[in-house]
């Protein structure tokens, strides 16, 4: 691991790390916030949305201010494999910046796209080398594609994540254009598996023992076509999951929205990670 940035932030440390990833077979970067103190610290993973790197949330969400007060570590992964030999697509919703936190089985994506393994398996081991993290107190959240990623990774790995929330998540990859395109590209050879990469479907097949918190801007331009939060509400109802879905009037899909409610989410995770 190469430490690209290590500087003071809210009394703790902001770090940017580059490393050669086993899971994605390329050089990857992620950002980390380590609060002041000796730890071991609870830890919240923040999965970003389409087109993002670690930088968007780390610089714009304002999460570190509240994490510093709570004594919470934050991990900001990238959203896809990177590099000249990694397959890409002209559309922003596929390829680089659009890893969908899944393992691709179809060509040309299979050699590098494995963001689920990267986030759930490889990254926690790297984080543990950098700071005193308590892996028994891990939460996960995310925005848009990353909100969907947080929900799916939590439901598929309930022993790993104690708390899960999301900002404006895609509700069901199989039922929206962005998600259908991603599933058909990355796992087009294996349609039977698509339900395992669909948050609404996982609510019914895998469930979630605790509560879930989802915030959604009511003025989000992607609301009706690509996000469809009602599909989450309906699946949670059928599955008996305690989902709090808040529609926030006047808010869009941007980091103005995320930064406005990140404190609520950190408070909510900390209530479960303390």
Residue 115 in contact with residue 102, Cβ under 8 Å? yes
Single out the residue of 62, 71, 111, 188 in contact with a second copy (rule: CB under 8 A).
Answer: 62
- Of residues 234 through 273, those in contact with a second copy by CB under 8 A are 248-252, 254-257, 259-260, 263
Query: What CA–CA distance (Å, rounded) separates 196 from 38?
Result: 38
Catalytic member of 48, 172, 220, 260: 220
Q: Is 158 in the site for a second copy (CB under 8 A)?
A: no
- Of the candidates 33, 85, 81, 80, the one whose C-alpha atom is nearest the C-alpha of residue 59 is 33
| CB nearer a second copy, residue 11 or residue 207 | 11
Cβ–Cβ < 8 Å for 152, 198: yes
The residue among 61 and 203 lying less far from a second copy, judged by its C-beta, is 61
The question of whether 194 is a catalytic residue gets the answer: no
Nearest distance from residue 167's CB to a second copy, in Å? 13
> Parallel, antiparallel, or unpaired: how do β-strands 163-167 and 73-77 relate?
unpaired
Q: Which of 81, 149, 217, 229 binds a second copy (CB under 8 A)?
A: 217
Check if 144 is active-site. Answer: yes
CB of residue 154 vs a second copy: minimum separation in angstroms? 27
Closer CB to a second copy, residue 55 or residue 89?
A: 55
CA atoms in the 13 A half-sphere facing the CB of 62? 11
Q: Smallest gap, in angstroms, from Cβ of residue 172 to a second copy?
A: 26
Q: Which of 93, 75, 94 is nearest to 28 (CA)?
A: 75
Beta carbons within 10 angstroms of residue 19's beta carbon: 16
Q: Which of 21, 48, 144, 172 is catalytic?
A: 144
Task: Using the minimum distance from each CB to a second copy, give the nearer residue, 80 or 260.
Answer: 260
State which of positions 10-39 bind a second copy (CB under 8 A): 10-11, 13-14
Give the integer Cα–Cα distance in Å for 3 and 15.
7
In angstroms, the Cα distances linking 260 to 10, 114, 212 are 18, 31, 18
List, in order, residues 6 or more apart from 184 with CB less than 8 Å away.
Answer: none
Active site residue 265: no
What residues line the site for a second copy (CB under 8 A)? Answer: 7-11, 13-14, 59-60, 62, 64-65, 217, 219, 248-252, 254-257, 259-260, 263
Just list the catalytic residues: 144, 220, 253
């Amino acid at each position: 691991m190469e430490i690209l940035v290590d500087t003071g932030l809210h009394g703790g440390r902001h770090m940017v790390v580059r490393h050669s990833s086993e899971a994605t077979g390329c050089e990857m970067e992620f950002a980390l916030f380590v609060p002041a103190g000796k730890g071991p610290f609870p830890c919240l993973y923040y999965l970003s949305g389409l087109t993002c790197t670690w930088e968007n949330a780390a610089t714009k969400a304002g999460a570190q201010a509240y994490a510093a007060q709570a004594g919470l570590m934050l991990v900001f992964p990238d959203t896809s494999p990177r590099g000249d030999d990694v397959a890409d697509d002209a559309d922003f919703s596929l390829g680089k910046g659009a890893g969908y936190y899944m393992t691709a089985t179809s060509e040309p994506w299979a050699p590098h796209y494995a963001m689920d393994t990267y986030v759930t398996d490889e990254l926690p081991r790297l984080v543990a080398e950098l700071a005193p993290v308590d892996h028994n107190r891990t939460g996960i959240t995310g925005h848009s594609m990353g909100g969907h990623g947080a929900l799916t990774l939590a439901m598929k790995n309930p022993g790993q994540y104690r708390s899960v929330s999301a900002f404006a998540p895609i509700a069901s990859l199989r039922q929206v254009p962005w998600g259908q395109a991603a599933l058909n590209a990355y796992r087009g050879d294996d349609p039977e598996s698509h339900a395992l990469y669909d948050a609404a479907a996982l609510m019914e097949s895998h469930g979630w023992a605790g509560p879930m918190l989802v915030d959604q801007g009511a003025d989000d331009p992607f609301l009706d076509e690509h996000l469809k939060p009602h599909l989450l509400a309906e699946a949670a109802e059928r599955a008996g999951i305690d989902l709090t879905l808040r529609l926030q009037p006047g808010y869009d899909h941007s980091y103005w929205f995320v930064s406005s409610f990140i404190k609520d989410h950190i408070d909510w995770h900390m209530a479960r990670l303390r």
